[in-house]
Chain A
Amino acid sequence: MVAKQLSVFIENRQGRLGEVLAVLKENGVNILSLSLADTTEYGLLRLIVNDSQLGKEMLSKEGFSTIVSDVLVVKIDHKCGSLQGLLTILSKENINVEYMYGLSLDGDQASVVIKTSHPEKAMEILKAQKISTLTNEDLKDM
């Protein structure tokens, strides 16, 4: 099972990010991780939340352009070289990484959110390598 990422289009205007966060807060949508990237005119806010569907519905209602897409949330050991090892596996199988960002877990475990060209295929590869990933169900309880 892949995990769901909520993306929001934000024009570069003061207070716009705050408006998005307010909508999520009012509806009890908890943010587990985020990445905010921008160009000169607009930005994309990518979020891993406990309920992406609810977040999308509420933001759309408030007039935001939002989308839910498939990403991998891959558990890795909190030690040197583990991310590199993971990427080598994906690269060998011709899986292209579009972007990624971290998502912290308790203890000595870490995880990364990865958007790939082929999420389902990447999932199969990770499974075969016995690398564990977080599903939407796991995120719900976080």
Chain B
Amino acid sequence: MIWSKNETLSRAEIEKIQLERLIETINRVYEKVAPYREKMDKAGVKPTDIKSLQDLSKLPFVTKQDLRDNYPYGLFAVPTNEIVRIHASSGTTGKPTVVGYTQKDLEVWTECVSRIACMGGAKKEDIAQICFGYGMFTGALGLHYGLEKIGASIVPSSTGNSEKQIMYMKDFGTTLLVATPSYALRLAEVAREIGVDPKKDLKVKIGLVGSELLTDAMRQEMYKAWGEDMLVTSNYGMSELMGPGVSGECEYLDGMHINEDFFIPEIINPETGEVLPEGEKGELVITCISKEALPLIRYRTKDITRLIYEPCKCGRTFVRMENLSGRSDDMLKIRGVNVFPSQIEEVILSFSELGPHYEIIVEREGYNDKLSIRVELVSSTDSFAVLENLSKKVRNKLKTILGLDCKVMLESPNTLQRFEGKAKRIRDLRSK
């Protein structure tokens, strides 16, 4: 089902809405947000210079650092009495980034999430269990209101206590699961540990996964764990932009449709900042054109993707962004080679002898970077030859894909740490 008629507008109609809303937003932020005014003045751009969508590229970028520099409310475009909700990012380094919403912002957010939930197959009849952590993180509440608006029954089980999660699924008849891909796999693992077969004993047929990369290999693991007939779609967003709901995959699983009436995407070269031609891969930059409280202009997401403008079989006309190939800040530089954790994941998941959990360790030995990958052995053997051969095959495949030699460390099943939120797969020990 297509939730909004806006999702099928013609390109000309979409662009008309985008330009109107862009001009309105730029005028508003220039007037109301001092740091924006300073940035634009410094770049020599006035709101009146923005006459077409192409003029967007004249505007300066906004980064996470700008949010930190103006902590907590410095980039808000409304007085705090109009703010009805505040969320914050986890902020692993230093202060968190704070985001605010007006009443209208919450309505837009709900609308965006309802759309992406429908793309992912959600219906009024669904019993939707939300296994994202409730709290300052936008994921849980975003999906919560969007799914509730559709009419689904929400089970706000949050994260943690995985055995109880399985009990809810079984007893409440959960049909739709919201989680990170790694937690969804963990839940299937826990179910089996307590004698519940996710394929036979549970009714979960829809997986709306987000907040983490969903690689093709990870999607295959989801099918293996939850059943071949599950519809697993990824969706995308970040708290700075709103939360989940920026884009989502439809049933054709060929890229995530961006809610273009609320967000304008661009792809830039992350090193030069130059806008790249249609179809090229680079860093995604998003401009919010309908937000009242925190309308970020040309926000650098650090996510690497490309845009697909060809029409989708589902009938939606909104541009699609390819499933992420990594984050420019997740990218590891090892011995001068760029390595994305997703490349390593693809290799690991291509071996049926290995489980889907892994850890990447980067150390420095003298002047050399050393890459080690810890993986779990899920097959069994009584032969060293088999184990050595497996390590060698994994190592060779990684070498082909990454162009780097690494050490492969086999571990027993269930020894690597499991995560309920975003999985932390990298231990970079080089700075210490």
Residue positions of A touching B, CB distance < 8 A: 5, 7, 9-11, 16, 37, 39, 41-42, 44, 46, 63-67, 69, 98, 115
User: Cα distance A87–B412 when bound, in Å?
Assistant: 35
Whether A115 contacts B409 by the Cβ 8 Å rule is no
Which residues of chain B have C-beta atoms less than 8 A from A10's C-beta? 412
Q: With A9-B387, A39-B388, A42-B387 in contact, is A67–B381 under 8 Å at CB?
A: yes
B277 at the A interface (CB under 8 A): no
B382 at the A interface (CB under 8 A): yes
User: Cα distance A67–B410 when bound, in Å?
Assistant: 16
Q: Interface majority SS on A: helix, strand, loop or mixed?
A: strand
Q: Which of A39, A44, A63 contacts B382 (CB 8 A)?
A: A44
Which residues of chain A have C-beta atoms less than 8 A from B413's C-beta? 63-65
B352 at the A interface (CB under 8 A): no
How far apart are A33's CB and chain B's nearest CB, in angstroms? 14
Q: Shortest 10 CB-CB distances between A and B: which pairs?
A: A7-B382, A67-B380, A63-B414, A69-B382, A65-B380, A63-B413, A65-B377, A11-B411, A65-B412, A67-B382
Interface string of B368-386 (1 = CB under 8 A from A): 0000000001111111100
Whether B383 contacts A11 by the Cβ 8 Å rule is no
B415 at the A interface (CB under 8 A): yes
User: Cα distance A65–B390 when bound, in Å?
Assistant: 15
Whether A66 contacts B384 by the Cβ 8 Å rule is no
Q: Which of B380, B383, B410 contacts A41 (CB 8 A)?
A: B410
Q: Which of B379, B381, B415 contacts A11 (CB 8 A)?
A: B415
Residue positions of B touching A, CB distance < 8 A: 377-384, 387-388, 409-415
Which residues of chain B have C-beta atoms less than 8 A from A66's C-beta? 380
Which residues of chain A have C-beta atoms less than 8 A from B409's C-beta? 11, 41
Name which of B380, B383, B412 has the most chain A CB atoms within 10 A of its CB.
B412
Which residues of chain A have C-beta atoms less than 8 A from B380's C-beta? 7, 9, 65-67
Which residues of chain A have C-beta atoms less than 8 A from B412's C-beta? 9-11, 16, 63-65
User: Cα distance A39–B390 when bound, in Å?
Assistant: 14
Whether A65 contacts B383 by the Cβ 8 Å rule is no
Q: Smallest CB-CB separation from A62: which chain B residue?
A: B414
Q: With A11-B411, A63-B415 in contact, is A5–B382 under 8 Å at CB?
A: yes
Whether A9 contacts B410 by the Cβ 8 Å rule is yes
Q: Smallest CB-CB separation from B414: which chain A residue?
A: A63
How far apart are A104's CB and chain B's nearest CB, in angstroms? 22
Which residues of chain B have C-beta atoms less than 8 A from A39's C-beta? 384, 387-388
How far apart are A93's CB and chain B's nearest CB, in angstroms? 22
User: Cα distance A6–B379 when bound, in Å?
Assistant: 14
User: Cα distance A115–B78 when bound, in Å?
Assistant: 76
Name which of B380, B409, B413, B414 has the most chain A CB atoms within 10 A of its CB.
B380
Q: Smallest CB-CB separation from B410: which chain A residue?
A: A42
Q: Smallest CB-CB separation from B411: which chain A residue?
A: A11
